Structure 1
Amino acid sequence: MMQRRMLLSAAIAAPIALAGCASQSLADYAGEKPMLDLAQYFNGRIDAHGIFQGRNGKIVKRFTVMMDCQWTGNQGVLDESFTYSDGSTQRRIWRLTKHADGRYSGTAGDVVGEAVGQTSGNAFRWNYTLKLPVDGKVYEVQFDDWMYLMDKHVMINRATMSKFGIRLGEVTLSFTKR
């Protein structure tokens, strides 16, 4: 009887545990419209509003971003100026390269190594390691960004921030192209 209960418990728990491991893939968005051309969207003036939520879901910081973006051929520069709810400011300048098959790579002063990403349909997935200053120390944290083009003016960005595979929080941004 005890063995039967254990088997039944395992049979019920396995699908639940596996469902928690399921995740989205870029292929899920291949047919979604409007099609995202990152170089076309991030060209010109973009404004963004965002929040950072800790692991518990509480909003830790709110921020705005003003972006000046320009592309020459397959090379792009995204000049981002951040203003946080606590009054602090930050600037990040991305230098991006557009490759074949919707692939992109990029660097920035506070990014470790090279960021890599790819578009599919209306989505873009972007992965990188960021040097994050916190209370006088700098931590290297990983970002898994997912951007979704809503229409020619609006894109939504959700990013998970982690360290050693442990989720630290999420960033949500709404971009508006002028």
Structure 2
Amino acid sequence: MKTRITSARRRVALALAAALALAGCAGITPSDYRAETPALSLERFFDGPLEGWGMFQDRSGKVLRRFHVTIDARWEKGVGTLDEHFIWSDGERQRRVWTLKRTADGRYSGTAGDVVGEAQGEVSGNALRWRYVLALPVDGRVWHMEFDDWMFLIDDRVLLNRATMSKLGVRLGEVTLSLHRR
């Protein structure tokens, strides 16, 4: 009898997990913002010095770390380079250099030293959805964390970014960032 109950619970759990996974697929897409202005051009916004302030919150909403970032951004011959320098509230310093390329109308790919594979992005209207896997060092181990970034151009000088961090589909935290053109 116990085997049947355990088996039945597994089937219910699998069905619930499948339903939740399918529900997550029916979310917002960049094209939902196609009429929003000002229109975001990565080549225009990410060209020149940028400065930003942000924070990382765990899944309960508690702010665990804050940061300041400066970015030297430039485009040459269709290739974008974002040289990011972070200073975290606990004193840690970090650098990430992104290389961006337009792959199709409104679509971009990107690489960085701590990004697993290629990041994929889509711009529509004032929004960019940017997805990638980051190799994140935690307590002496490296975790591959999925990031789902949404960036929104507010005006010619300000871009807001909200990124959800997850592992195996479980949301673990969020990064919020305000970027300003200098």
TM over 0.5: yes
1:96-107 mapped onto 2 (5 Å cutoff) = 96-107=100-111
* Unaligned segments of structure 2, at least 5 residues: 1-21
Cα RMSD between the aligned structures?
Answer: 1.5
**1:54-79 CA deviation, whole Å, 9 max, x = no partner?**
01000010001100011012101000
CA pair 38-164 structure 1, distance change in 2 beyond 3 A: same
Would you say the 8 A contact 1:77–1:93 is kept in 2?
yes
CA pair 106-137 structure 1, distance change in 2 beyond 3 A: same
Give 3-state SS (helix, strand or coil) of 1:28's partner: helix
Query: Is the counterpart of residue 175 in structure 1 residue 179 in structure 2?
Result: yes
**Which of 24, 36, 43 does residue 32 from structure 1 map onto?**
36
Equivalences, count: 161
Would you say the 8 A contact 1:143–1:160 is kept in 2?
yes
Deviation at 1:20, TM superposition (A): 8.1
Shift >4 Å, 4+ stretches: 18-22
**Which of 138, 163, 167 does residue 167 from structure 2 map onto?**
163
Query: Is the counterpart of residue 41 in structure 1 residue 41 in structure 2?
Result: no
Deviation at 1:171, TM superposition (A): 0.4
Would you say the 8 A contact 1:83–1:89 is kept in 2?
yes
Identity over aligned pairs, percent: 58
Q: Distance in 2 between matches of 1:109 and 1:148?
A: 25
Q: Distance in 1 between matches of 2:23 and 2:137?
A: 35
TM-score by length of 1: 0.87
